Amino acid sequence: MVKKSYDEFCRAIAKISPYIRFVAAVGNRGELISNYRRHGLKPLLNAKDTRYQFSHIAIKTDLEAFFDKSLGPIEFVWEERKKVQTVSFAIKKNRIWISVDKKVVRSEILRIIDACLPIVKLYS
């Protein structure tokens, strides 16, 4: 998928819910391909920590691939943290990383995930 497609993808994901803070397309080496940030929000990570987070995502994605044959590929990963919730999806060797407001009820997170899955499949 080319950068323009990732730009469209990030915007499509961001439109799913007003609680989505940030959407990033992260390459297999941890590079930021495209992103969308909700207007008026201060980032939770500074530039250096963002690069580390994306590198971590790339390394984790690479390691998880070892289990794909036995367990099947990952469809999504949902993390709850003290300040934010994150969901990530795989598109080939790249990862889509979404941060969502912490105060959102779990049913809204599940709605976001369910709305993302067909979009992810369309771009996979």
- Name the one residue in this structure whose structure tokens are 């941890």: 30
Entry pTM:
0.87
Q: Which domain holds residue 79?
A: 3-123
- Do the bridges between strand 77-80 and strand 32-37 make them parallel or antiparallel, or are there none, so unpaired? unpaired
Number of domains in the chain: 1
Per-residue pLDDT of the chain (124 residues; tens, 9 = 90+): 666 789 999 999 999 999 999 999 999 889 999 999 999 888 898 889 988 898 888 888 888 888 988 999 888 999 999 999 999 998 888 899 999 999 999 999 999 999 999 999 988 8
CATH code where residue 39 lies: 3.30.450.30
